[in-house]
Structure 1
């Protein structure tokens, strides 16, 4: 059984993952969102039980990395991490000679002495251009890496100075009124979307986690559809949909990242959306339309009841089911076991 808590991290991702192995609770943190959601979750544990087996910082966007920076810069008492997966500037290309500027997280991890990308030989967490996908064994959990690849890391390398500048821009990515407001979801499925071309999003670490009981969860971070599809097709070269019990919807439900082809590549009845909708207005109605059209009877799990998610409480003729946090609460916790997903107390 895999337990996933989509913690309230405003517009970002902060996913707390637990599973049992040999009588012990194992833990993974995927991103830190904004604020101190990750640190608070660790502080809720007994001080002598604050070990996290793996911390994954999927990419350098502020709504994913901010809480990780806080966690390692000012760690809760007793906090330890078995390993960190994070692609810093040093991992973006192999032919670099001479000094290069590192990010703040690179500096912090270097000082902390935490094992960093150790399962990847201290190199980039990335898939090769061909051959089998990397498969890494955690105690009781199998992790198959789907993205990023060399092209995505090279793109981030070229854009690194601009990406760093964007992290401090509070208006970056903000949008105006939703052009799809009021349009029936069925009419939005085939409305065109330009692909996400953000170098930072393209570098997202995306992976499939599988527990021994058969529970399978797809963690997509902010990855665009193209590298996710490439990874899924390598996982299932016969073109059959890849069965997963739960998919964390890429980029908080942006229509630039959720394509009809991506939804069709998955046999997935449950879709988790992590966002308050602040600033960027996620999830996009086109993304929701593609999910519910391509996954009939799907359940949409939201970690916020907000202005951008409330409308989905009433499925109408579209046949999906939506679950929001209880009134007055934020965040949602799910258990994935034998292909089934159920809500549990947070």
Structure 2
């Protein structure tokens, strides 16, 4: 059985993925330091693989105390992370200026933990039943990211979520144009690791904070399109369901009725998920022979809406067969 735990990481990401038949564990991202201290350690004290998708604080910060605890209080078999020491970088790529990434890389070297990069097109074997088909980042996007690492922005623009005032109808939101940024201005997310997890005959898409064009370019290169959609059992949405991390093209190329979100609603100027993201999926995506579309949250929906406003109204749920479900654990046979 494949067991997935969507760990509560506040506004961050952390997933424990287990093959219970093969006793293999993969930890995908670590959220914040408090995520490791109060959540991850309560679930496990060892993993065979640790994948850190990218350098954003809400994904990487919890990995620092985890690796500090290695090997006496926590054990890790192998780390997959795209930092300069895991990837052959041009000598003129420039200095690295993000302190957490520097700390992480130093710890990996100090602990002599084996670590390597992941690039689109590679396949990683996790267990007898699980493999990861890497779909992001491309070699070119990762090179650009490392070269521009020192210029990473300290803040991000808010998603267009209505906390008060007029609620825009789902039908209007679903027809809005794409809102994502260019890859060059959003190079941190363009370098995020994303993959298709293959378990027996199941396909699950874990998008990290991947840029939508990187994902659709990969799927398109594999022969998929709006006429020939890629069917997924579950999709973990990019960047907590942000509207800047989805595209109409992506929605047209996939078939899926189950979407996983990791968020408590966000904070300050960065609130998520976006009602517009939910609208685009609920009204436009192919539901893979299901009448309903399901959005799975790892925090109480009431808590999320208190932070960022209405997600889906009761009337909209009925009209469009939308289910908002509070569920952290998934058992897949």
Give the TM-score normalised by structure 2.
Answer: 0.84
Q: 1:146 and 1:241, CA in 2 relative to 1: closer, same or farther beyond 3 A? A: same
Gaps of 5+ in 2: none
Q: What is the match of residue 282 of structure 2?
A: 292
Q: Distance in 1 between matches of 2:260 and 2:250?
A: 15
1:254-287: per-residue Cα shift (whole Å, max 9, x none)? 1111112112221211000111122211011111
Cα distance, 1:300 vs structure 2: 0.5
Cα distance, 1:244 vs structure 2: 1.3
Q: 1:76 and 1:187, CA in 2 relative to 1: closer, same or farther beyond 3 A? A: farther
Indicate yes or no: 2:332 matched with 1:336.
yes
Cα distance, 1:38 vs structure 2: 3.4
Q: 1:309 and 1:247, CA in 2 relative to 1: closer, same or farther beyond 3 A? A: farther
Q: Secondary structure at the match of 1:227?
A: helix
Q: Distance in 2 between matches of 1:309 and 1:142?
A: 38
Q: Secondary structure at the match of 1:173?
A: coil
Among residues 90, 93, 96, which one is paired with 1:95 in the alignment?
90
Q: 1:182 and 1:17, CA in 2 relative to 1: closer, same or farther beyond 3 A? A: same
Indicate yes or no: 2:253 matched with 1:265.
yes
Cα distance, 1:94 vs structure 2: 3.4
Q: 1:177 and 1:95, CA in 2 relative to 1: closer, same or farther beyond 3 A? A: closer
Gaps of 5+ in 1: 118-123, 128-132, 326-331, 338-346
- Give the aligned length: 308
Report the aligned-residue RMSD.
2.6
Q: What is the match of residue 115 of structure 2?
A: 116
Indicate yes or no: 2:158 matched with 1:175.
yes
Indicate yes or no: 2:218 matched with 1:216.
no
1:155-196: per-residue Cα shift (whole Å, max 9, x none)? 212321122xx4xx4xx2253873596011111012123323
Indicate yes or no: 2:125 matched with 1:142.
no
Q: Secondary structure at the match of 1:216?
A: strand
Q: Is the 8 A contact 1:28 1:54 kept in 2?
A: yes
**Aligned counterparts, 1:1-346, within 5 A:** 1-21=1-21, 24-44=22-42, 50-75=45-70, 77-91=72-86, 94-96=89-91, 101=96, 103-117=102-116, 124-127=117-120, 133-140=121-128, 141-163=130-152, 166=153, 169=154, 172-173=155-156, 175=158, 178=161, 182-196=167-181, 197-212=185-200, 214-237=201-224, 240-279=228-267, 280-293=270-283, 294-296=285-287, 297-305=292-300, 306-307=304-305, 308=308, 311-312=311-312, 314=314, 315-325=317-327, 332-337=328-333
Q: 1:31 and 1:313, CA in 2 relative to 1: closer, same or farther beyond 3 A? A: farther
Q: 1:302 and 1:15, CA in 2 relative to 1: closer, same or farther beyond 3 A? A: same
Q: Distance in 1 between matches of 2:26 and 2:312?
A: 30
Q: Distance in 2 between matches of 1:241 and 1:287?
A: 19
